[in-house]
Amino acid sequence: MNKPALDAEISSFIDRYLAVSGLSTSTSVARQRIDYEAMVRQFRFAHPAGISTRDSRLAGRHGDIPLRHYRYGSGNDNALILFIHGGGFILGSLDSHDDICAELCAASGYDLVSVDYRLSPEHLHPTHLDDIEDAFHGCRHDNTILVGASAGGTLSAALCHRLKSKPLSPAGQVLIYPGLGGECFDLDSYRDNAEAPLLSTADIRFYRGTRCAGDSLPLDDPEFYPLVATDFERTAPTIAISADIDPLRDDARLYVEKLQDAGISARWINEPGLVHDYLRARHVSAVAGAAFARIGNAIKELAT
């Protein structure tokens, strides 16, 4: 199978990304965190005009959960965006996705809250999801749209599964290159993109292992891997967005198919020529910038 070509801007982005961070799962978690922060600094951009922020802390079952609140202009609280960052469950913070959150807030017009959930390996499954659930209830809003990127997409779909029969559940979810457990289904993308830049199939298996103690992986637990659920009814309406050159590409496709089979409103958007973590390239690649704009539109579609 011919591998899709990268355009010049995305190739340049990948080169800068790797030159600055050298990010590799073959190094220690401590080293990966240092490298990740270096990459974040390289691709950090100023907030759009009109964005205001404030930080707060929410009491959760495992301790306080830091939050960052974003408002555009005078605000629009007809919906609330709850943003869940990526980073393989071992990386990321309020600061790592700060500019992305600010731009999503401005693009959608809705108030946004970013959640600083606990990370592995210090905290194991399901602590990450517990933090997200506590933040969801603490920010209580009848029209909450979850937006999760990568590992954040895992947690978003897991939260929708956990809460789908509860009185208060998410009104919708936008999943951005989510990891949902596609490796359990022998999906083509894990072979086609096994050595994809910025995220390989081997990287996915490393991150998976950091979420649990020892060698025991709860691969039959939909809160760990949402694709293994046997019942998708009452799941929130979903727009799942994948990068074509990413092992996780077919996770989004299969998840949407399962939701559609259950009668749930769901749509898959696959972004040709893009790689995992393309959100970082939104200002250095026209292709990534257009894809980012579609994320803002997806949020607005589900929020109205």
pLDDT in tens, 71-86: 999 999 999 999 999 9
- At residue 2, does pLDDT exceed 60? no
Q: What percent of the chain has pLDDT over 90?
A: 94
Residues 84-95 have a mean pLDDT of 98
Q: How far apart are CA 99 and CA 105, in angstroms?
A: 10
Domain residue ranges in the chain: 8-303
- At residue 3, does pLDDT exceed 80? no
Residues 269-290 have a mean pLDDT of 98
- Tens-digit pLDDT profile for residues 188-218: 999 999 999 999 999 999 999 999 987 789 9
Q: What is the per-residue pLDDT for 47? A: 98
Q: How far apart are CA 224 and CA 217, in angstroms?
A: 9
Q: What is the per-residue pLDDT for 214? A: 76
- At residue 12, does pLDDT exceed 60? yes
Enumerate residues 6+ apart whose C-beta is below 8 A from 30: none
- Tens-digit pLDDT profile for residues 160-196: 999 999 999 999 999 999 999 999 999 999 999 999 9
pTM attached to this predicted model: 0.97
In which band, very low, low, confident or very high, does the pLDDT at 1 lie, cut at 50, 70 and 90?
very low
For residue 125, the Cα-to-chain-centroid distance in whole angstroms is 17
Q: Across the chain, what does the average pLDDT equal?
A: 96
Q: Which residues of 284-302 are buried (b: 16+ CB within 10 A; e: fewer)?
A: ebebbeebbeebbebbebb
Q: What is the per-residue pLDDT for 5? A: 74
Q: How far apart are CA 299 and CA 148, in angstroms?
A: 11
- At residue 296, does pLDDT exceed 50? yes
- Tens-digit pLDDT profile for residues 233-269: 999 999 999 999 999 999 999 999 999 999 999 999 9
- Tens-digit pLDDT profile for residues 138-159: 999 999 999 999 999 999 999 9
What class, spelled out in words, does domain 8-303 have in CATH? alpha beta
Q: How far apart are CA 202 and CA 247, in angstroms?
A: 10
Residues 55-68 have a mean pLDDT of 98
Q: How far apart are CA 1 and CA 76, in angstroms?
A: 47
Q: What is the per-residue pLDDT for 221? A: 97
Q: What is the per-residue pLDDT for 295? A: 98
Q: What is the per-residue pLDDT for 61? A: 98
